[in-house]
Structure 1
């Protein structure tokens, strides 16, 4: 038989209201009474009906988190940062993967709305944010992650990806490379477009070449495919440096080159990735990468979600972190 709040109250010799306060507002109850009620809860095996409480409150104690690709360690680390900060605030995180598909993102958003989440942390697939506007208008707070807000409609936390593209390209130019290639896609992803823009601006100023090689996704498989295509070219038609839109693509390219053995890194082609996931430093040839503070982005997104604008109107609604270049053997061999 299911134990009720009234059963706990009777066993502890207190009112139902006191049990409710112990469960929801223990600071309002004397310490001795809290201890007595908790002993009754443990003895009777009481489990609160959180679903009913959520219906009464209109919100759950969960945050919905939608990322582009949960297989990417960058988003895994981002989710970890969000979860740790949420736990500090008595909340939990539900993770969903859009797989870079708009329809799938919409499905997750609809389910989270049905579950009455406290708020949403989203890395949007595209530039059309109408669905997010509608959710916000219906009272669900939304924070954009790994994506700068184009206006003040949503709080956001991201890294300056244009700057990230610039420092990656500048590093390749500084080590003497002049035939660069940018590998990544689809460019409908804002992150890819911004990184490409930064690289294009830098190579244009230096009067160097930048070839764009598109991919259908930001995955290791797509990196391998591009790597094999580059191997098939004659040496004089290959780039002498590659800037990949993320580390997964860069690692796929590196695998192709190492396995085939006909292209040497960095002697023939220098290679730079983006995100600086853990696998980058552990690769067969450690990968130079542009570092993003993934866990910090996730934690900051939760902070922005829980921020009360009426109580704290001095905190920024848009947080932009600066990227950092981490140089390893894929561009500069140690002597």
Structure 2
């Protein structure tokens, strides 16, 4: 069956094609009685507008692309929720993609969104982005980096001071009397992870008392399973070599670490080993041992990035300050 066209609607309603177009795009310009007649014809014919054709004519769509590192991570899910709510408030739709920390996959999604003529792009990048973003700008696509500071002044960014976050996490552990700290992480080349590691090392270096140390323990991924496996490997050490505190690069790793302690059964959190995560995902407060963590405002990151993209501030740089949330996993109640 042939799909009804704008001309079919115009013929059925007894109006011009231009009037139908105005009803679809600028209804306030059409008299109420005429508008009702056109809408009735649309309903009778089952007409669906060809938005792809409209986008081709306009040169862009009312959509925003968002590429995150891992949509399965609750932090990025919350970020996307904030971005979607803000986009909807401005009558835009959000298209979400996950790069899975794969640069080639990221580039394919950027290409796809450009082909879809998105109004703009929100990007949580895998690696360096300056050349690719400049390319997009040349094609009329504005970009805002999300959860990453920008390397250039020509485009905007919304990020978190993760060096400070790593520092306050380890300072908290040192204040509770912990001295042998393990930093459990994966994807250490990612800027966010590298910054947390740098802040953690800074905190130990500035500790006035002797005997404080920190080591990097690499997990196979930034996931619950990655945290569990890395922690179980730590627990295979001689008792004297087991750290008295673990700082994980995100809450998923810390959740896996909790599982490892329960599976092993010999050590308790926080009596024997204190544990700190990062992000303050929804699960952190309801874990079997509520998780001390560093809170990042995920939804506000998403909302701010959309406002920046759609406003006149697409070359600004907003940096949020993370916050320590102390719970039972470090002995706080």
Unpaired stretches in structure 2, ≥5 consecutive residues: none
**Partner of 1:106 in structure 2?**
107
Corresponding residue for residue 257 of structure 2: 253
Per the TM alignment, residue 10 of structure 1 is displaced from its structure 2 partner at its CA by: 2.7
Please give the per-residue CA displacement for 1:185-224, whole angstroms capped at 9, x wherever unaligned.
2221010011111111111111421111223421112101
CA deviation after TM superposition for structure 1 residue 5, in Å:
1.4
| TM-score normalised per structure 2 | 0.94
Are 1:140 and 2:141 an aligned pair?
yes
Instruction: Tell me the CA shift for residue 35 of structure 1.
Output: 3.0
Distance in 2 (CA, whole Å) between partners of 1:32 and 1:196 is 66
1:316, CA displacement in angstroms? 7.2
**1:333 Cα deviation after fit:** 4.9
Residue number among 299, 304, 308 corresponding to 2:312 in the alignment: 308
Within a 5 Å distance, the mapping from 1:313-328 to structure 2 comes to: 317-328=316-327
Report deviation, 1:15. 2.0
Q: Counterpart in 2 of 1:48?
A: 49
Partner of 2:180: 179
- CA-based RMSD of the aligned residues comes to 1.7
Q: Deviations over 1:145-197 (max 9, x none)?
A: 01111331321111111111121111111111111121112221010011111
Normalized against structure 1, the TM-score is what?
A: 0.93
Aligned ranges 1:61-72 → 2 under 5 Å: 61-72=62-73
Unaligned 5+ runs, structure 1: 310-314
Deviation for aligned residue 1:284: 1.4
Aligned-pair distance for 1:325?
A: 1.4
Give the alignment of 1:173-322 within 5 angstroms: 173-207=174-208, 208-308=212-312, 317-322=316-321
CA contact (8 A) 2:219 2:229 kept: no
Deviations 1:293-332 (A, max 9, x none): 11111111111111135xxxxx871111121211111111
- Separation in structure 2 between the aligned mates of residue 324 and residue 100 of structure 1, nearest angstrom: 26
* Whole-Å separation in 2 of the counterparts to 1:102 and 1:316: 24
